[in-house]
Amino acid sequence: MRTIRASHLPQDAVAATERVVAEGGGVRVVVPTIDAARIDRVCDALLRAQERLRTMRTERVIRAIDGAARRLSDPADPARADVLAALHAVSGFSPPMASLLLDRVAMDWLAPQLEQLLDAELGGPAAVESFIARSPRRCARAVAPPLGLHVFSGNVPGVGVTSIVRALLVRSAVLAKPAAAEPVLAASFARLLADADPEVGDCVAVTYWTGGDAGIENAALARVGLVVHYGAADAIADLRARAPAHVHFVEHGPRISFAVIHAAGTALPDAAEDLARAVALFDQQGCVSPQTAWVIGTRELARTFATLTAAALAGIQHELPRGRLDAAEAAAIRDMRTRAEFGEIAGRGGALWGPPDLAYSVILSDDPAFEGTCLNRTLLIKHVPDLDTLIGIVRPFGKSLQTVGLTGFAADELIHAASSLGDAGATRITTIADMPWPPPTWHHDGRGPLQELVRWIDLET
């Protein structure tokens, strides 16, 4: 049994006793037992460390992050091996999927990407170091709360580390709570960060506690100026209700993404290949993962497209096998398949493609209504006569929309489609192939990733 310690805490806050948070597949993940008093000491240490971070040059912060990211990408590094083992044994991703995901997400934490992010968001690194001229008589400086509590969800590996990285770039120290389903990556990253530059590493603490533990969370909420919360709507609402009014609350709740295939302008086999890959990546757990695809065109075209997509998913299964399903996930998929299959048998339309082992399921539905799936490579394919019909269907769900992947639209149609979809609530329009991989500079849920962390101080002369 391989034991992985999924925490990174200041020396004086490390507890003597540990508990197991996840176990399986030859891996045991342990964290120190923690309580409100200990969280308070962690916050003391983080706030002390942040005083040094405040005056640190951006270059140095970026160098530390870049160094940690490179080690996570290094096949010879034991930290990478720990992360991959946990992504497989605890999160359930297949080994090839775990490697691919780690390689891709770690790219976003390299120096050039971080510099690009600061440029895009704050006009360069200077704005967090001092006042920068904005107009002849006005300077401005971006300031983030000294300490933030970051709560992560377990669906997509790396999102938590990205949150830590963004905070460090604007000089905000981080107390992070990973999800039980993905407890290792953030802690490993924090340790590598401390190896690369101890003073930067001191600004990050990562440990797990059971979500909703009011004693621990209220102790943290009393010390932070910022909460960044990824996860389920009820967990976010619960913490938000307990946060003091002055705490700046940034939330990334559940969102749903879909694809639109304008059949007339598309090479369907290529679109099917792209869609299958977007569905397969992270086993469809991402908020950017397509759950439903609407074909603009006839039922026959939708059926052809479904056949092609199913074949593409079957091919991907060899390269990037689907991860483990728990009994509830498998039962949900079977339930969806049963409805589709017997709907077809009963002559109510619909059709199902998918192997008995649930590697993937493609369901053609004649009901164009808005619907999501139960993920893990379960895709609904529907058809509508035109874009306006589709806009009418998705508009009521606008607040929950995230990414829309488009294909087959001519340049002028694309602008029109993007505007309509944006008006309906979507925050990101992209190609189907790019759906799973938003660039580091993306406006996550429609907001600037660094801008949403800072407030501006204006100096007028």
Rounded Cα distance between 204 and 9, Å, is 8
What six digits make up the tokens of 368?
Answer: 């164009």
Candidate residues 16, 75, 399, 412; the one interacting with another protein per rule CB under 8 A = 399
Beta bridge partners of 380: 292, 363
Among residues 322, 327, 405, 324, the alpha carbon closest in space to that of 360 is found at: 322
Q: Residue 213 or residue 371: which is nearer to another protein going by CB?
A: 371
Q: Residue 78 or residue 396: which is nearer to another protein going by CB?
A: 396
Candidate residues 265, 396, 447, 456; the one interacting with another protein per rule CB under 8 A = 396
Distance in Å, CB of 346 to another protein, minimum: 5
Q: Do 283 and 97 touch, CB atoms closer than 8 A?
A: yes
Residue 202 within binding range of another protein, rule CB under 8 A: no
Candidate residues 329, 405, 426, 449; the one interacting with another protein per rule CB under 8 A = 329
Candidate residues 14, 332, 391, 433; the one interacting with another protein per rule CB under 8 A = 332
Q: Which stretch, 67-75, 102-110, 163-171, 365-373, contacts another protein (CB under 8 A)?
A: 365-373
| C-alpha neighbours within 13 Å on the C-beta side of residue 381 | 33
Give DSSP secondary structure letters for 93-146.
Answer: --HHHHHHHHHHHHHTTSHHHHHHHHHHHHSSTHHHHS-EEEETTEEEEEE--S
In Å, how far from its chain's centre is CA 310? 26
Candidate residues 7, 172, 284, 317; the one interacting with another protein per rule CB under 8 A = 284
Residue 327 within binding range of another protein, rule CB under 8 A: yes
In Å, how far from its chain's centre is CA 135? 37
Residue 375 within binding range of another protein, rule CB under 8 A: yes
Q: Do 283 and 276 touch, CB atoms closer than 8 A?
A: no
Residue 343 within binding range of another protein, rule CB under 8 A: yes
Q: Which of residues 95-134 bind another protein (CB under 8 A)?
A: none
393 burial level (CB within 10 Å; 0-12, 13-18, 19+): middle
> 225-254 mask for another protein (x: CB under 8 A)?
-------xx--------------------x
Enumerate residues 6+ apart whose C-beta is below 8 A from 174: 46, 147, 148, 150, 163, 164, 167, 168, 203, 204, 205, 206
Q: Residue 132 or residue 359: which is nearer to another protein going by CB?
A: 359
Residue 331 within binding range of another protein, rule CB under 8 A: yes
Q: Which residues bind another protein (CB under 8 A)?
A: 155, 232-233, 254, 256, 284-285, 291, 324-332, 334-335, 338-339, 341-343, 345-346, 356-358, 370-376, 396-397, 399-400
